[in-house]
Structure 1
Amino acid sequence: MNNKFVRRIIVSLVCAILIAGCWLAIAGQPASAAGQGGGKTIVMGTSPDYPPYENVDAAGGGEIVGLDIDIAKHIADKLGYKLQIAGSDFDGLIAALQSRRVDFVMSAMSATEERKKSVDFSDTYYNARNTIVSLKKHSYATLDDLKDKRIGVQLGSTQESVVAGMKGAQITKLSKIPDLMQSLKADRIDAAIVEDAVAADYAGTNADLHFEMIPAEDSGEGYAIAFPKGSPYTAEFNGVLQEMKADGALQAIIDNWFGTEKEAEPAVKNRGLDFKRLEPYVGYLVRGTYVTLLFTLVSALFGFIWGGILSLFKISNVAPLRWFSTVYTSIFRGTPLLLQLLIIYYAVPQLFGYTIPALLAAGLAFGLNSAAYLSETIRGGILAVDKGQREAALSLGIPYRTMMVSIIFPQAVKNILPALVNECVALLKESSLVSVIAVADLLFRASVIRSTTFLAFEPLLAAGAIYYVLVLILTSLARLLERRMRRSD
């Protein structure tokens, strides 16, 4: 076998992971929307899946837009700050504040007593009311009309308490509002309880939907801006909010999003396929493909290199190295990958004061996890090499390190190449987990398009086709490399 060829491949992989790591750090910076201010940069955290407060404008290039965004821009301009917007899942916003990853949060967040124990809140900037959303053919005006009906609410929302005491009703709890609306249009539920602004947005763009206000004093909630405990921004923001309320600027922004009716889209029958509606989102999907490929490349390269080092530790005569590799493998294989991702993303700023980019954190978490599995695969490949080659090399006086790097390891890589390809394929498909820390990969973007267009099948089918093509390309390249290595024997 031509070991020089394999060594060149390994050196190329090391160079590639260094270059890809730089790309990952750059690409992992939070999506931003700059205000007019040119001073200090201030970072806003938000969960961009709750229109019209904040959502991703997938057809317009992927920028985060909404009521909260416009208010934040206005405040930042008044205070002379440059605004950056960092997306995240709603459940991670409080943690982002506590780890100082963001300076403040605006995401239609209610200033509840429980949350006030962890963060500070500004004055309220909007008071919402709950509504009943249903298909026009089933218009429900009061909660009494929903007795014995199938009702949908968002999991963890205040709307859960509205329907908690309803006897006979079948309650469905879903994580996201778009999923509720799709269930409603698919006739899986009879009505959904959501707040007025969200109901108006969906009813305004879907001609087959209708909403009614719930006439109850406790049906509403006030939204406020969240800050870390003791933040100096709280007083500054409150001052600008008071000015906006006094001069009408706040009401003007609210009217811009809620006070005008949108052109309703015609009701679409839930049959057939309509891929033409995906045309405005092609660029958005392509950028998600780039993120997925970049993340997979860095994770696979890092996992292979670190996994190779761990495999050498496992067969080493040095006991502490064997213990370390064994404990490492046990921990990373014995805990969920999602847990490891969240720990790295949120713990690094808290422990070291370094705000690690989301995509870099994802690549690191997946690489560390992959290395635990690959270390066993590589160790098996090394042990599969004929022991006679080791004995011959040692009898010729070849140093152990040289023997492993130049003789044993290249042959092991050849033996385990199919397993390495399987690991890369698994990383490619598991990349959807990174959406929990706001990395907009391919599947995340397909879900955004699905929630925007209410096309339940086409965006997912398009994402599936892209994943399939990527896997075919990956396996084809692996076969070419395997044939090249065989010719080098």
Structure 2
Amino acid sequence: MEEKQMRQLITYSRRIALFALILLTLGVFARNTETVHAASSSKDVLRVGMEANYPPYNWTQQNDANGAVPIDGSDEFANGYDVQTAKIIGKKLGRKVVVVKTVWDGLLPSLTSGKIDLIIAGMSPTPERRKSIDFSLPYRRTKMIAVVNKDGKFADATSVNDFKNAKFTAQLATFHYDLINQLKGTIKEPAMKDFSAMRVALQAGTIDGYVAEDAEGISITKVNPNVKIVDLSGKGGFKVDPSEVQTAIGVKKGNPLLQKVNQIVADISPAQQEKMITKAVLDQPESAAKGNWFLNIWKQYGGMLLRGTGMTLFISLIATIIGFVIGLLIGIARTIPRPTTRGKRWALNVLNWVLSVYIEIFRGTPMMVQAAVFYYGIAQIFGLNLERTFAAIVIVSINTGAYLAEVVRGGIISTPTGQFEAASALGMTHFQRMRKIILPQAIRNSLPSITNEFIVNIKDTSVLSIISVSELFFTGSTIAGQNFQFFQTYLTISLIYLVLTFTITRIFRVIEKRLEGPTNYNLMANQLQVTTPTLEDN
């Protein structure tokens, strides 16, 4: 590589590193501001976990209207029946309620790892869940229903025997899904992540119905006149354990807070509960306004989309840069020539074995599993409560490093052997050869793969919702759960992802082109062609 190209590569690397440092500093400052604020009053804060995407129990909104409370780590607010119940408990305890928004699968590990104090999310105290956590007295009793299309062939169903050949589903990790077995002759579809997904599937016709609680029926019939609710709580309906049709508050096992919560819940009368659920139904977000759906989404939720996009870009950029550094170091280490002494050979073999194990583990397991194990596992085993954005960057960086280590190693070993031999003949050490001759070429040759990994990271940040990171996809799911324009919302998110990946691809292609240099490096031949006289000249 020419000296000019080497300087260009160094210049681009410095610019990208500086940009990443600025983003990291701003991000850490912003997150530290929130963390310090929470830490300064941790004894006065009641951290309540919920999806904030299950109206009328809980939902996300952009202001504090109707008594909403702030969501931890964002500028958004949560409201609903669960939130108002949490506020009653917080007031009696003298603690300010802060909602920790997470996906349903993340609620139990958040509680057991100490990330939250309570789960108030319309959760039923089933025997399986009681093995992991404690539950309070019920703060609401529910009825089980089936949600079907109003004009569908199962709209006239009245009992569990009227759904033959119907395609049914329910929410993942709930007893609702097991109740489908009682619907005679139904086709049991795979469980879905949340009610937003089930509403989309019902509207699209990929399912004929889904099992839910009466609160979901109250919510969806308010915003969608094309559905019908089949009450399956009485004669001819589901046979359920009484504990399964209750909603209770989850508390970590052995936490003395349970006794206080029970005393407070016992004082909430059934009449007050009914009044609260009625108000929650009235306050829940309306479906999107009529008109241009694209403009309406950006007008109502543009701030949320931009924050989600910023978080996605921030995490993916920082993690890609850190992962590249990790991969570069591992690539250099794994190409060290075999030492002549036994001790050094043994040490190098151990190092290569450790690095190989690291690469195989992080390339062979899903990033979602890695995030859950790292974020919740460290809290449970070591008692370390990591900030979620920091944990996300660590996970994506380590995962990226495992992939780029092989990319860099491939770039190194693809360099012609003669260059290694020539450098060795000049007396260069392994690291001198790498720094001055091999790495500049290997990095340039690996740039397309590094670009691809950056793009993959942008898309893969969607799995970080398992540790409550409000990236673009998690934000979009929340919006779809509020405006009930599922196709339009997810199409908008897709366009944002496309803009991000397209822009990044073009930027890196410009960098690649600048690093390619002139098409003809045979300068001596060009000079001879110009200066050597021909016979005609003579």
Q: Give the structure-2-normalised TM-score.
A: 0.79
Secondary structure of 1:64's aligned partner: strand
Aligned partner (choices 237, 240, 252) of residue 264 of structure 2: 240
Q: Which has the larger displacement, 388-397 or 421-430?
A: 388-397
Matched ranges for 1:405-484 at <5 A: 405-484=435-514
Kindly provide the CA deviation profile for residues 23-50 of structure 1, in whole angstroms up to 9, marking residues without a partner as x: 555666899999xx99522322212332
CA spacing shift, 1:11–1:150, aligned 2, 3 Å = same
CA RMSD of aligned residues (A): 3.4
Kindly provide the CA deviation profile for residues 345-374 of structure 1, in whole angstroms up to 9, marking residues without a partner as x: 211212332222233222222221221121
Give yes or no for the alignment of 1:198 onto 2:247: no
Aligned equivalent of 1:179: 197
- Maintained 8 Å contact 1:7/1:406: no
Give yes or no for the alignment of 1:158 onto 2:175: yes
Aligned equivalent of 2:386: 356
Secondary structure of 1:420's aligned partner: helix
Matched ranges for 1:8-407 at <5 A: 8-11=11-14, 19-23=22-26, 25=28, 40-57=44-61, 62-137=76-151, 139-140=155-156, 142-143=158-159, 146-148=162-164, 150=166, 152-154=168-170, 155-175=172-192, 176-216=194-234, 218=239, 221-245=245-269, 250-258=273-281, 274-279=293-298, 280-316=300-336, 317=338, 318-396=348-426, 398-407=428-437
CA distance in 2, matches of 1:459, 1:30: 31
Q: Which has the larger displacement, 61-70 or 363-372?
A: 61-70
CA spacing shift, 1:444–1:81, aligned 2, 3 Å = same
Q: Which has the larger displacement, 424-433 or 225-234?
A: 424-433
From the CA coordinates, give the structure whose radius of gyration is larger: 2
Aligned-residue offset at 1:392: 4.8
Aligned-residue offset at 1:290: 0.7
Q: Give the structure-1-normalised TM-score.
A: 0.87
| Count, aligned residues | 482
Aligned-residue offset at 1:433: 1.8
CA spacing shift, 1:257–1:397, aligned 2, 3 Å = same
Aligned-residue offset at 1:16: 5.2
CA spacing shift, 1:147–1:254, aligned 2, 3 Å = closer
- Maintained 8 Å contact 1:274/1:458: yes
- Maintained 8 Å contact 1:38/1:80: no
CA spacing shift, 1:464–1:186, aligned 2, 3 Å = closer
- Maintained 8 Å contact 1:152/1:171: yes
CA distance in 2, matches of 1:215, 1:447: 30
Identity over aligned pairs, percent: 28
The runs of 5 or more residues in structure 2 that have no matched partner are 65-74, 339-347, 522-538
- Maintained 8 Å contact 2:362/2:399: yes
- Maintained 8 Å contact 1:132/1:140: no
- Maintained 8 Å contact 1:57/1:64: yes
Aligned-residue offset at 1:239: 2.2
The runs of 5 or more residues in structure 1 that have no matched partner are none
Aligned-residue offset at 1:481: 1.8
**One-letter amino acid of the counterpart of residue 322, structure 2:** F
Kindly provide the CA deviation profile for residues 227-284 of structure 1, in whole angstroms up to 9, marking residues without a partner as x: 11111211122222233339x65554233224x598986999xxx9843442312222
**One-letter amino acid of the counterpart of residue 227, structure 2:** L
Aligned-residue offset at 1:108: 0.9
CA distance in 2, matches of 1:306, 1:418: 18
- Maintained 8 Å contact 1:136/1:209: yes
Aligned-residue offset at 1:128: 0.8
CA distance in 1, matches of 2:288, 2:440: 62
Q: Which has the larger displacement, 420-429 or 22-31?
A: 22-31
CA distance in 2, matches of 1:322, 1:238: 56
CA spacing shift, 1:262–1:401, aligned 2, 3 Å = closer
Q: Which has the larger displacement, 120-129 or 420-429?
A: 420-429
Aligned-residue offset at 1:148: 2.0
- Maintained 8 Å contact 1:59/1:284: no
- Maintained 8 Å contact 1:446/1:463: yes
- Maintained 8 Å contact 1:133/1:212: yes
Aligned-residue offset at 1:422: 1.5
